[in-house]
Structure 1
Amino acid sequence: MITEEQKLYLKSLRGAVLRLPASYFDEINPGDEAVSRMFRTAYAQSQAELIYTWFLEEKIVLPEKLKGQLQLSYDHALHRELLMNTERARIFDFMDEQGIWHCPLKGIQIQPLYPSVGTRYASDNDILVDPEYCQTIRRYMEKRGYKASPSSGKHDSYLKNPSYHFEMHWRLMDETEEEDAAASYLNRIFPKLHRVENNKFLYEMTPEDFYLHFLAHADHHYQGSGTGIRYITDTYFYLKEYGKDMDWEKLGELLKQLGLSEFEERIRTLSDKLFADEIPVFDFSKEEEEFLSYMFRSGSHGSDQISAENSIRKFNYRARTGIGRKAEYIARRVVPDRWWWKTNYPFLYKYKIGIPFFVVFRLVRGTFCSVFAREELRQLLSRGKEPDERDL
């Protein structure tokens, strides 16, 4: 269940999103300590800049020490977004020159919908690119001083100081067993993309497909390490801009097909309730409170604790005793099934002779270096002797 402190946060977030007058905040009437705690939550949810700029615009008084910290955070977010926008334009120019089709994703498209530059934090820029040119892009990015991280099963990641981070996707989703329907649709998205006017190689998704990808990505994190309140805010801004022109009948069918109907309804209903024109009473159903509580606990980027909880809870157990199930879980995590190898290490999925050596390396690394692995083992061993009824 959500706390009164969390309800205060949601009320403040509503004011920031709708840019309500200062009198609205005066009605909430929190003290300085409550405001400080509220902004701690805002940092955890990556929404501090959004709320802070509302305070500035409406001249809402802040504790002096907190104001200095928030101003520094906002300056950094503003500078970062401007740098990323400028750098992305240079990268797109290169792709245009080389004849590489490209499609901006996620935060790139949502940031401009927020009240002003710097109010929607994004840790990276995601771009879907022609998979035939991944090596060309890599050479260009490395020449510009970027460090390429090891490839995942769907993108190459590029980092450069002071705060540049780009992910070049050749597909949108990992092909895991539980997300196979969404991956099958979204990884074949190119024929459905629309070319942006006056640009031969810049593409964009239809509003419906963008929304589907946005939801699939949010649900992926929600089911994994958790995700936060910002997705509800993103939903509001996106649907405010594009919702009235979307084909909701077609979209409803696709949501069912991709297994996203329930998640979409939850997040859209909460968006409607929190940011409605009429003042809400902040009276949530039990299911909505559980959903919000989970998002508050997750923060914007999830946590190892929640990831371990979900991994243990969702595991497909065969053993019937507690000890047997724990042993089964550990064995499968050390030597995962084919979906895991295909998603995370496609090279080893193709050349299986290297798997035994990697398993040994993975076991040693997990034991001594991985915070997540230690948290996972702690939670598993702390369970009772009998299997948890949620797993049956």
Structure 2
Amino acid sequence: MRKSLNENEKYLISLLKSVLHGLPVEEVPKNVNMETVFRIAHFHSVANMAYYAVKNMKNLSPELLKKWKEEYDKAQLKDVVQRIELNLISKTFEQEGIDHLPVKGFVLKELYPKSDMRAMSDLDILIPPDKAQNARDAMVKIGYTVEHYDGGVQDVYFKPPVMNVEIHNNLFMEAMKNSVDYYKDFAKKLFSENSKTCRRYISDEEAYAYVIAHTSKHYRGGGTGIRSVLDVYVLCEKKPELVSSESFLNILKEQKLDEFFKHISNLSKVWFGDMESTPLYDEMGAYVMISGTYGTRTGEILNRVSEDYKGSLAKSKVSNVMKRCFPPLYIMKTQYRWLKKYPWLLPVSYPMRFGAVLVHRRKNLDVFSNTANVSEEEAKQINTLHKNTGIFTD
């Protein structure tokens, strides 16, 4: 993996910085290709925001400007529709007696100069685990189709033209043990408290600490992109007292995320503020750039192999393959709901899983080939980077 940004990536960061701060747009350098800049912006779901900087450029081709404008128009539409739909869902859940808490996106939108600058692919709503069927019935009632419903940690719903909704009964899978433990207790407490309404509200400290926890989940999974770094920057800029408060930092410490927050907030200040970079933040930035909005399958495999790396690449690869062939119970329960009631049948579920693997043979062969292709240098580099930035803490 490279250790710094290229010129196209640097220019995109400068465009976003100019939008955030209302600064004049830097002239396009000769060694920058605006088609490539657009592709990077699209890959990171920030093309809509960057449009505010490029819309008055005189040397852009009409075809390329049209692509930027389409991203902006989609974000405008989504921003309006998502607000309307969230109110409809909340009203319907209220009528059906379903306790719920909207999380993530909307608390961040208010921190940006304009709310449409912060694109959201979906709405995320937390409910009590025993209300999943009630929520499903309510969502179907208001015109949503069920995209995914299997008794796992989240169910997925869709309504044309742009509405994707994830209904969570837990905010993390058990792979992130510290966050899982914290948010299990958090959800139990939240939904056990007396409330005059079914829509629940939490403190800013809790809301924004969850944003950091969610960002870390993607970062250590397949990676996370520019948009997440933007989120951290506007949070630090708009809520400086909150992010330095003892209550906020204690929530992060309880999940062992305080070091990660320090480093990703520093990276955000390097990119969008006036902080000088260091080799660590150059490398961290390069990792973010190759990840895209939600990370990649290749990045996920590299992270898993690197996490297991303890001097022997062969051992870490074998460990990763074994975990994929024989996932732990908490993952298997999301694929086979009956394991929740009969966990002792876990060994029986593995032959069924292998059958499913054969059906999707091409996809799974790619996983194994990508694992085989991880080099010793890559594993060492990512292992060291993630230890230095507070991701690999054990």
Match of 2:98 in 1: 100
Q: 1:310 to 1:371 in 2, by over 3 A?
A: farther
Partner deviation per Cα, 1:268-305 (whole Å, 9 max, x = no partner):
112233333xxx3x752111011110110001121111
SS at match of 2:124: strand
Alignment of 1:1-392 (within 5 A): 1-20=4-23, 24-26=24-26, 28-31=27-30, 34-56=33-55, 59-61=56-58, 62-148=60-146, 149-151=148-150, 153-176=152-175, 179-190=176-187, 200-245=197-242, 248-276=245-273, 280=274, 283-315=276-308, 322=314, 326-341=317-332, 345=336, 347-352=338-343, 355-356=346-347, 358-369=349-360, 373-382=364-373
CA contact (8 A) 2:304 2:320 kept: no
CA contact (8 A) 1:32 1:63 kept: no
Cα distance in 1 for residues equivalent to 2:102 and 2:313: 49
Q: 1:332 to 1:36 in 2, by over 3 A?
A: closer
What amino acid does structure 2 have at the position aligned with 1:85?
Answer: R
Cα distance in 2 for residues equivalent to 1:121 and 1:263: 24
What amino acid does structure 1 have at the position aligned with 2:164?
Answer: H
SS at match of 1:302: coil
CA contact (8 A) 2:233 2:272 kept: yes
CA contact (8 A) 2:152 2:337 kept: yes
Query: Residue 199 of structure 1: CA displacement?
Result: 6.6
CA contact (8 A) 1:192 1:205 kept: no
CA contact (8 A) 1:367 1:374 kept: no
What amino acid does structure 2 have at the position aligned with 1:360?
Answer: P
CA contact (8 A) 1:172 1:186 kept: yes
CA contact (8 A) 1:81 1:118 kept: yes
Query: Residue 222 of structure 1: CA displacement?
Result: 0.7
Partner deviation per Cα, 1:330-375 (whole Å, 9 max, x = no partner):
3332112334335665642542465445423432433452665323
Q: Structure 1 stretches of 5 or more lacking a match? A: none
Q: 1:271 to 1:352 in 2, by over 3 A?
A: same
CA contact (8 A) 1:100 1:201 kept: yes
Task: Number of aligned residue pairs: give it.
Answer: 376
Cα distance in 2 for residues equivalent to 1:371 and 1:313: 24
* TM-score, normalization by structure 1: 0.84
Moved more, 228-237 or 179-188: 179-188
Query: Residue 209 of structure 1: CA displacement?
Result: 1.1
Partner deviation per Cα, 1:159-193 (whole Å, 9 max, x = no partner):
222221111122211122xx212211122224765
Moved more, 203-212 or 183-192: 183-192
What amino acid does structure 2 have at the position aligned with 1:3?
Answer: N
Cα distance in 2 for residues equivalent to 1:88 and 1:291: 35
What amino acid does structure 2 have at the position aligned with 1:168?
Answer: I
Partner deviation per Cα, 1:313-343 (whole Å, 9 max, x = no partner):
223789x793x76555433321123343356
Partner deviation per Cα, 1:49-83 (whole Å, 9 max, x = no partner):
00102334xx3333211111121222122112212
Q: 1:231 to 1:344 in 2, by over 3 A?
A: farther
Query: Residue 17 of structure 1: CA displacement?
Result: 1.7
Q: 1:83 to 1:161 in 2, by over 3 A?
A: same
Cα distance in 2 for residues equivalent to 1:80 and 1:96: 24
Cα distance in 2 for residues equivalent to 1:384 and 1:118: 41
What amino acid does structure 2 have at the position aligned with 1:15?
Answer: S
Match of 2:389 in 1: none
CA RMSD of aligned residues (A): 3.3
Over the matched positions of the two proteins, sequence identity in percent amounts to 25
Q: 1:223 to 1:372 in 2, by over 3 A?
A: farther
Partner deviation per Cα, 1:108-130 (whole Å, 9 max, x = no partner):
22123323243221111001123
